[in-house]
Amino acid sequence: MAAGRRASTLTAALRSDVHAVGWTPDVRRRDRVLVKRTQLVDRPGYTLAELAIVVAIIGLVTIAGIRGLTHHLDRIAVRNAVDEAAGALARARDEALAHHTLVSVRIDTTDATIVLRTGDLRLARYAIGHEHGVTLATTRDSISFDVRGLGFGAANLTLVARRRSAADTLVVSRLGRVRR
């Protein structure tokens, strides 16, 4: 019952305020709307400062997420580059076995490419740096496979693919075995 009395006194107070400003039934509709809008002083909402804080927090979380995402994408690119290099070496070995000829694999670290050759004939060219955005580093610039598919040379070859902080290594033994 007390709530009903409070509401009726509030309504009476608003009516007296409205009559004081000159609100009568024949006043135009836009004046009524203006008076009703002034009554809604206690609307729920957010201040500009609260919204700015929320936007700043969202920005910080997004930056942290992007850093993790770029590192993950770099690792994927490096892994794919090493897989492609391993595929190129496997193809060179298979070509040597299939054609009973010496096949050489030349790794150009400045262009980040791998070229397969047999004699003067170029069998394939892999532009690993361009396709995956990596740089290559090797201990040797070439390796050859003989007619039996074995590595021809005196030392192992290590290939390192790098993109920003991500790196992966591929090792080719003297006999031509590839380890990732």
Question: What residue ranges do the domains of the chain occupy?
Answer: 55-179
pLDDT in tens, 143-173: 999 999 888 776 789 999 999 999 999 999 8
Q: Characterize 15-43 residue by residue with b for buried, 16 or more Cβ atoms within 10 angstroms of its Cβ, and e for exposed.
A: eeebeeeeeeeeeeeeeeeebeeeeeeee
pLDDT surpassing 80 at residue 11: no
Question: Which residues are within 8 A (CB) of 63 and not within 5 positions of it... i.e. 6 or more apart?
Answer: none
User: Which pTM value belongs to this model?
Assistant: 0.68
Tokens of 135: 């740089």
Question: Which residues are within 8 A (CB) of 122 and not within 5 positions of it... i.e. 6 or more apart?
Answer: 115, 116
Distance in angstroms (rounded) separating the CA atoms of residues 109 and 111: 6
The pLDDT-based confidence of 180 (bands split at 50, 70, 90) is confident
Q: Which residue has the tokens 């394939």?
A: 124
Q: Count other Cβ atoms within 10 Å, centred on residue 134.
A: 25
CATH code assigned to 55-179: 3.55.40.10
pLDDT at residue 153 in the model: 72
Rg of the chain in Å (alpha carbons): 38
> Looking at this protein, which amino acid is placed at residue 169?
T
